[in-house]
Amino acid sequence: FGTDRMAEITLKLKAPTQEKSVQLKENETIKELRDEAAKAFSVSSARICLIYAGKILKDEHTLTEHKLKDGLTVHIVIKNEQQASSTAGQGSTATTPATPT
């Protein structure tokens, strides 16, 4: 396959208490980076907030749009789960109230 044009890059993910590295193709999306971060830190991707150059990275953007290159550090914030615990199955639906407009 002609994938040799797409370079593999390694990004450092820096959380307040630990640091990990992930490898991605340079044309991948922020969502794919979020998924890799979730695996690296063993949390659900919904809890991951990625920050680079003072901006929160949005899923639909690509690594190149944010000028993320090999060896750079992305800051990661792992949000607390909203009243969810490790016991699955107890009211597994989200309880955020809908606000009618």
Q: What is the pTM of this model?
A: 0.74
Query: Three-state SS for 76?
Result: strand
Work out the angle at residue 92's Cα, subtended by the Cα atoms of residues 41 and 75, and round it to the nearest 5 degrees: 25
- For residue 6, the model assigns a pLDDT of 75
- For residue 92, the model assigns a pLDDT of 39
Q: Which amino acid, 45? A: S
Cα–Cα distance measured from residue 17 to residue 83, given in angstroms and rounded to the nearest whole number: 22
pLDDT tens track, the chain, 101 positions: 444 567 899 999 999 999 999 999 999 999 999 999 999 999 999 999 999 999 999 999 999 999 999 999 999 999 987 644 444 443 434 444 555 56
The b-or-e profile of 25-50 (16+ CB within 10 A means b, else e) is eeebbbebbbbbbbebbeeebebbeb
- For residue 23, the model assigns a pLDDT of 96
